[in-house]
Amino acid sequence: MTHSGNPFGQVLVALVTPMTADGEVDWPSVEKHIDDVITAGADGIVVTGTTGETSTLTDPEKIRLVEVGKDVAAGRAKIITGGGSNETAHAIELYQKSEKAGADGIMIVTPYYNKPTQAGILTHFRLVADATDLPVILYDIPGRTGVPIKYETILRLAKHPNILAIKDAKGDFSEVSRVLNQTGLMYFSGDDANVLPHLSIGATGLIGVTANIAAGPYRAIVDAVNRGDLAAATAQHRKLEPLVRAVMTHVPGTVSAKYILHGLGRISSPRVRLPLVGPEEWEAAIIEDELALVAGVEGVDFSNFRPDRNAAAGGALPKVPGTTR
C-alpha cells in the first residue's frame, strides 16, 4: 500500500496501561486515560509499547488495547500498536491481528535479547513490514535491545514502501540529521528531554512518556515549532523540564508515570506487573521533590497531588487463563 503524508500524528503518547490493585488491566481506566490525553492535545496513541508494559501483557490484552483505543479515539487520534516480539513469526502474528482490530499503524522494535546482526535486523523489519498494509515506525532503542539500527541499515529500510518513520531513543543528533537528509523518513523523538532539540533539526513529532501526564504542553511545543515560534516552544520546554526529570530519571518511566497519575487521581492504581515494582520510599521521595519544582504546566495541578506509597509498593503477577493466578 502507498502511504502519503503523516499517518501517525505529531504528539503521540506512549500510553501506560492502567491496572487494578491486583494487576489486572483496568479497562474503564484505560478508556478514561485515552480520552484524557486526546482531550489534552494528543493526536496519536501508542498502545502496548515499552511504557505500556508490553513484555507482561498477554496477546489478547494487546489486541483489546487496540480495539479499546480505536473505540475511544473515534477518529480523534491515530492508534499505533507497539511492542511486537523478538521472534519474527510472533511479531507478524501480533501485527496482523492488530491490523484486523483496527490499528492505524505499527511500531516495530529492534529484536531484543537475541542481539541479531544488522542483516538479521534488516530481515526482521522487512518481513514484518511485508506482512501488513499498515504504515510502520521503526523503533531504535539500543539501551533496551542491546543493538542499534545502524545508519546503513536505516537507509536500506527506508526504501520499503510501508516503512515511513523511525522513533529515535539513541540520542545521536548527527545521525538524525544524516537520515533526514538522505531519506524521506519521518523522525519521532523517543527521549522526553530531547523533544524540542529533535524538533528543531527537523523531527516530525514525539512519542513521549511524560505526555501521559501533560500532553497539552507537548501540543503547544509542536504547534509553536510548526509556526516557527522558537521562543514559545522553548518556554514550554523549560516548564516541562522538572516534570520530565521526575518521570524519566529515577525509576523506569512506566513506574513513575503511574505513580504520578495515581497521585493526581487520574488512574485508579499505580500498580505495575513484575518484574517492575513501584518506587521504594526513597525513590518516591526524590520523585516528589522534583514535582515540587513543577510550575505553570498546563493541565497539571500538583497542589492536589496525593501519592500513595503503600499502593505503589511491590508488583503484581498477571493472571494466566486456565490457572489460579
**Binding site listing for pyruvate:** 51, 207
Q: What is the dihedral of CA 131, 137, 142, 143, to 10 degrees?
A: -120
Place of cell 496477546: 59
Answer whether 81's CB lies under 8 Å from 107's CB: yes
Answer whether 65's CB lies under 8 Å from 52's CB: yes
Answer whether 120's CB lies under 8 Å from 150's CB: no
Q: Is 139 a catalytic residue?
A: yes
Which residues does 12 contact at the CB level (< 8 Å), separation at least 6?
A: 42, 43, 44, 45, 46, 78, 80, 188, 205, 206, 207, 208, 211
* DSSP element (H, E) containing 137: strand 136-140
Answer whether 42's CB lies under 8 Å from 211's CB: yes
Write the burial class of residue 160 (CB in 10 Å: 0-12 exposed, 13-18 middle, 19+ buried).
middle
Give Cα 161 to chain centroid, integer Å: 24
* DSSP element (H, E) containing 106: strand 105-109
User: Which residue of the set 62, 167, 239, 258 is catalytic?
Assistant: 167
How big is the chain by its Cα radius of gyration, in Å? 19
User: Which residue of the set 112, 139, 218, 259 is catalytic?
Assistant: 139
Alpha-carbon span 152 to 154, nearest angstrom: 5
Angle, CA of 101, 103 and 109, to the nearest 5°: 115
Answer whether 258's CB lies under 8 Å from 264's CB: no
Catalytic residues: 139, 167
